[in-house]
């Protein structure tokens, strides 16, 4: 069964180019395109795609506003920002709002397709040029959150803690399913519950927080 993708961008030519790129992979199906917030929300609620590619800035609208609303409804939705902005502030705002990845539009097409395949397995994907800056910023925030936050691992079930440990290791949903001998669908449910209970908007934040608590297995 093909993985479904929704493309949200206000440039028709760019949407068409991304759709054609994704069509090169028989395991990926573009189930729709949207040019604004209303279209993005409607298409997502109707199809619940496996991955949403979202531009940071749409005409008269912020991609972050769309991201926030979609994640508020369901934090387990996988949303990757695809943008021209390499500004660290934009990257951090996207991650804080719940983005599961941040890729630049000037990537080589083959590299973009490869990263999107990774995103569809549950991995967090960040453009190489920005990865170091993001890691440093999130680590500093996580250290502060560990000291000040009232988040408590005790709210999680044993299985949810096991999933969180795997997320901290950077494992994809498929690998977590294999590690814990459960289905990918069950992994998605556990991730959704874990994020809600700990009040995280993305698995990126959860992974860094868990790592600071010493939860990594490797």
| Residues 113-123: tens digit of each pLDDT | 999 999 998 88
Confidence (pLDDT) at 175: 87
Per-residue pLDDT at 137 exceeds 80 = no
* Higher per-residue confidence, 20 vs 172: 20
Least confident of 17-26, 169-178, 189-198: 169-178
Mean of pLDDT over the chain: 87
Confidence (pLDDT) at 20: 96
Of the pLDDT bands very low, low, confident and very high (cuts 50, 70, 90), residue 2 is confident
Q: Scan for tokens 């609620």, then name that residue.
A: 45
Question: Which positions ≥6 away from 166 have C-beta within 8 Å?
Answer: 175, 176, 179, 180, 217
- Is the domain of 103 the same as that of 181? no
Per-residue pLDDT at 136 exceeds 80 = no
* Higher per-residue confidence, 169 vs 139: 169
CATH code of 54's domain: 3.40.50.2300
Our count of domains for the chain comes to 2
Mean pLDDT of 23-33: 95
Our measurement of the distance from residue 67's CA atom to the centroid of its chain's CA atoms, rounded to an integer in Å, reads 10
Confidence (pLDDT) at 194: 92
- Is the domain of 73 the same as that of 170? no
- Is the domain of 115 the same as that of 8? yes
Element housing 126 (H / E): strand 125-126
Domain end point (choices 71, 102, 134): 134
Sign of CA dihedral 31, 80, 123, 110: positive
- Is the domain of 85 the same as that of 167? no
- Is the domain of 158 the same as that of 113? no
CATH code of 161's domain: 1.10.10.10
In a domain, 217, yes or no: no
Neighbouring C-beta atoms of residue 109, cutoff 10 Å:
12
- Is the domain of 62 the same as that of 105? yes
Our measurement of the distance from residue 97's CA atom to the centroid of its chain's CA atoms, rounded to an integer in Å, reads 10
Of the pLDDT bands very low, low, confident and very high (cuts 50, 70, 90), residue 204 is confident
* Residue ranges making up the domain that contains 172: 142-212
Domain end point (choices 105, 134, 163): 134
Domain end point (choices 134, 161, 187): 134
Of the pLDDT bands very low, low, confident and very high (cuts 50, 70, 90), residue 148 is very low
- Is the domain of 101 the same as that of 10? yes
Mean pLDDT of 88-98: 87
């Amino acid at each position: 069964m093909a993985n479904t993708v929704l493309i949200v961008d206000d440039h028709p030519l760019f949407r068409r180019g991304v759709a054609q790129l994704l069509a090169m992979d028989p395991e990926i199906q573009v189930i729709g395109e949207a040019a604004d917030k209303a279209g993005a929300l409607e298409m997502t609620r109707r199809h619940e795609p496996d991955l949403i590619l979202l531009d940071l800035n749409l005409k008269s609208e912020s991609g972050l506003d769309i991201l926030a609303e979609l994640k508020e409804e369901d934090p387990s939705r996988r949303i990757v920002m695809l943008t021209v902005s390499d500004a660290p502030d934009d990257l951090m705002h996207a991650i804080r709002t719940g983005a599961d990845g941040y890729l630049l539009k000037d990537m080589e097409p083959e590299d973009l397709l490869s990263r999107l395949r990774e995103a569809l397995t549950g991995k967090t994907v960040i453009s190489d040029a920005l990865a170091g800056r993001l890691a440093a910023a999130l680590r500093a925030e996580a250290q502060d959150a560990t000291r000040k936050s009232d988040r408590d691992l005790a709210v999680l079930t044993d299985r949810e803690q096991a999933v969180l440990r795997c997320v901290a290791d950077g494992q994809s949903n498929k690998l977590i399913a294999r590690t814990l001998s459960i289905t990918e669908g069950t992994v998605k449910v556990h991730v959704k519950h874990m994020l809600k209970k700990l009040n995280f908007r993305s698995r990126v934040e959860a992974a860094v927080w868990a790592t600071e608590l010493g939860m990594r297995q490797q």
